[in-house]
Chains A and B, each alone.
Chain A
């Protein structure tokens, strides 16, 4: 079963997270990092959820990670895969796995970010299996 990129509903932009979506337009995945405790978190907040410092900043993520868990949604007009991807930076993000066969997906499998358009809004970061070149 081939999993096509979903046309996702547009995410709501808020003043707090507009930069995240601006970066998505440029094909960059951002994470919020904290200068006080050194940790990165997701979803992004102005106040660090780990130490509650307001001394936070945007950081560009590698866009690579591994699959922590996933599920192919069969009860849908077109099946799609939701997943938790653990980024190389150590945080786990909620996402879709796209542009792959369902049986390519496995826990701990390496993936990288790809951006896909949403319905009339900013592009959405999704992930696809990392394939060896050639």
Chain B
């Protein structure tokens, strides 16, 4: 008997698709969303006309759900555009399940698409603002804060507090590269060593170039359905067992960089699912930077706070080698970080693992329970944490 999430029978992730492009000079943003949607629906055995709920985040152009409902010709009765950066899509899975349980929709489509690489965007290293009139901007933007140096300050504080080393952080990238060599679509397929990471140029110290995720164009889509729809489909059923969300900020100046919002989102997800970290067979952990993974592994309870450096070292995240296979598609560090947002691809690889459809060289045997966790926005200032626990039925 399936335990975990209460509500009217739960919800199922029945279709996923990761767009194969990594540089989309010949495609529009709308097209990336729609091509991903079409393929994810086909994966589920559904069609565009079955969709009655639609979810998108800040990568959606124009009026978000309105612009893309228009572009794709959707007829929906429920919409959600929760925006917490790259982790929005994990929250969308949770919100889709809530909407399904409330009877607001039965086939929820979540899409992402974007082309920062085609646009030559300096995603992590150019100071930028999400909205010039945000109240924090005058007190932060003039100083040249970027995604890279905000995450770097977290890494520096972690090193100071717990003795974490750059070599330990590098193991996160090494593990990702071991997985990416088997992914024909991965942007970076070469296996790298700790020495390679440490020899790559400093971007924002202590983070090196190979501590940072790739910049790619692309798209992705997820289809979440009601139980009765899932039963009617001839596909492996992946059930949402638990989910949690949280926000963490500089908190009026009471800043503490040694933990993330995932400390709360993870606890909530584990409580709802009724499982513990020891039960998890595979984990997709958002890897915008190497430090992002290390921080979440601690905050999720896979190891004690401060032990993340030792936990990730020596190949412990490599499938078939270590205790916890993480990001077996190569993750954001090697495979794909479409539209500067890694949440969708994190869910997709977890679903592949639970279906037994990951690459045979990285497939986790008997993978029946997987965790997806992410941090969107800036780990070093304000960010959203989201954690989703999925099980194969």
Q: A residues within 8 Å of B by Cβ? A: 6, 8-14, 16-17, 39-45, 49-50, 68-76, 80, 82-84, 90-96, 107, 118, 124, 126
Q: Which of B144, B153, B251, B252 is the one whose CB lies under 8 Å from A76?
A: B144
Q: Contacts of B160 on A, CB cut-off 8 Å?
A: 69, 107
> Does residue B279 face the partner (Cβ distance < 8 Å to A)?
no
Stretch binding the partner chain, chosen from B12-20, B178-186, B200-208: B200-208
Flag B105-145 by CB within 8 Å of A: 1 or 0 each: 00000000000000000000100000011011111111111
Q: Let me know if B156 and A124 touch, CB within 8 A.
A: no
Q: Contacts of A73 on B, CB cut-off 8 Å?
A: 125, 144, 146, 148-149, 203-204
Q: Contacts of B143 on A, CB cut-off 8 Å?
A: 6, 8, 82, 94-96, 124, 126
Most buried by A among B201, B202, B381: B202
Report the contact-size class of chain B (Cβ under 8 Å from the partner): 35 or more
Q: Let me know if A68 and B255 touch, CB within 8 A.
A: yes
Q: Contacts of B257 on A, CB cut-off 8 Å?
A: 68-69, 84
Q: Which of A41, A43, A82, A124 is the one whose CB lies under 8 Å from B153?
A: A82
Q: What would 17 more interface pairs be, CB under 8 Å, given A12-B138, A41-B253, A69-B154?
A: A11-B139, A12-B133, A14-B135, A16-B135, A42-B252, A49-B252, A73-B144, A73-B149, A74-B205, A75-B203, A80-B144, A84-B153, A84-B255, A92-B253, A93-B139, A95-B143, A124-B142
Q: Let me know if A71 and B152 touch, CB within 8 A.
A: yes
Residue of A nearest to B156 (CB): A69
Q: Which residues of chain B from 320 to 345 have a CB within 8 Å of any chain A CB?
A: none
Q: How far, in angstroms, from A10 to B132 measured CA to CA in the complex?
A: 12
Flag B202-242 by CB within 8 Å of A: 1 or 0 each: 11111100000000000000000000000000000000000
**Can you list 20 residue pairs at the A/B interface with Cβ under 8 Å?**
A12-B132, A12-B133, A13-B138, A16-B135, A41-B252, A41-B253, A42-B139, A43-B136, A70-B156, A71-B149, A72-B202, A75-B204, A82-B145, A91-B253, A92-B254, A93-B139, A94-B140, A94-B145, A107-B156, A107-B157
> Does residue B250 face the partner (Cβ distance < 8 Å to A)?
yes
Q: Contacts of A9 on B, CB cut-off 8 Å?
A: 141-142
Q: How far, in angstroms, from A124 to B140 measured CA to CA in the complex?
A: 11
Q: Let me know if B204 and A74 touch, CB within 8 A.
A: yes
Q: Which of A13, A42, A74 is the one whose CB lies under 8 Å from B201?
A: A74
Q: How far, in angstroms, from A82 to B257 measured CA to CA in the complex?
A: 15
Q: How far, in angstroms, from A49 to B250 measured CA to CA in the complex?
A: 11
Q: Which of B135, B137, B207 is the one whose CB lies under 8 Å from A45?
A: B135
Most buried by B among A76, A82, A93: A82
Q: Which of A16, A74, A92, A93 is the one whose CB lies under 8 Å from B203?
A: A74
Q: Contacts of A93 on B, CB cut-off 8 Å?
A: 139, 253
Q: How far, in angstroms, from A90 to B381 measured CA to CA in the complex?
A: 17
Most buried by B among A10, A17, A44, A92: A92
Q: How far, in angstroms, from A126 to B153 measured CA to CA in the complex?
A: 17
Q: Contacts of B139 on A, CB cut-off 8 Å?
A: 11, 42-44, 93-94
Q: Let me know if B252 and A94 touch, CB within 8 A.
A: no
Q: Which of A6, A71, A94 is the one whose CB lies under 8 Å from B250?
A: A94
- Minimum distance in angstroms from A33 CB to a CB of chain B: 11
Residue of A nearest to B143 (CB): A96
Most buried by A among B137, B206, B252: B252
Q: How far, in angstroms, from A1 to B250 measured CA to CA in the complex?
A: 29
- Minimum distance in angstroms from B382 CB to a CB of chain A: 11
Most buried by A among B139, B153, B203: B139
Q: Let me know if A17 and B138 touch, CB within 8 A.
A: yes
Q: Contacts of A124 on B, CB cut-off 8 Å?
A: 142-143
Q: How far, in angstroms, from A130 to B154 measured CA to CA in the complex?
A: 24
Q: How far, in angstroms, from A16 to B257 measured CA to CA in the complex?
A: 28
Q: Let me know if A96 and B144 touch, CB within 8 A.
A: yes
Residue of A nearest to B153 (CB): A69
Q: How far, in angstroms, from A80 to B253 measured CA to CA in the complex?
A: 22
Interchain residue pairs A-B with the least CB separation, the first 8: A91-B253, A41-B252, A71-B152, A8-B142, A11-B138, A43-B139, A49-B252, A69-B153
Q: Contacts of B202 on A, CB cut-off 8 Å?
A: 72, 74
Q: Let me know if A43 and B148 touch, CB within 8 A.
A: no
Q: Let me know if A49 and B138 touch, CB within 8 A.
A: no
Q: How far, in angstroms, from A67 to B154 measured CA to CA in the complex?
A: 13
Q: Contacts of B250 on A, CB cut-off 8 Å?
A: 92, 94
- Minimum distance in angstroms from A53 CB to a CB of chain B: 13
Q: Let me know if A68 and B157 touch, CB within 8 A.
A: yes
Residue of B nearest to A90 (CB): B253
Given contacts A71-B153, A73-B204, contact A92 B255 (CB under 8 A): yes
Q: Contacts of A14 on B, CB cut-off 8 Å?
A: 135, 138
Q: How far, in angstroms, from A126 to B160 measured CA to CA in the complex?
A: 23
